[in-house]
Structure 1
Amino acid sequence: MLHGDSTVTVVVPVLVVVVVEVEVEVEVVVDTEVVVVVDVVVLS
């Protein structure tokens, strides 16, 4: 049980960090695409 608990204690924060980083990267990509689209619309 102790080994399993310690594994969960290590794995969960890692998963949370990975998910947060992925979400941030996705948001940055979406924001960049929106800015590009706006620039194209304004320029054309």
Structure 2
Amino acid sequence: MYRKRNVVERCFNRFKRWRDLATRYAKHASLYRASLVLIAAVIWLP
């Protein structure tokens, strides 16, 4: 259980590097989700 929680917490820490996602500049849910998907792709592809 702890191992899975650790993976999720590290993932959120990676997302916090992107300031616009952390502060939620996108006011619409669709724009927020699109930026989340894009940032996740940038993080996990390399």
Higher helix share: 1
TM-score normalised by structure 1 residue count? 0.41
Larger Rg belongs to: 1
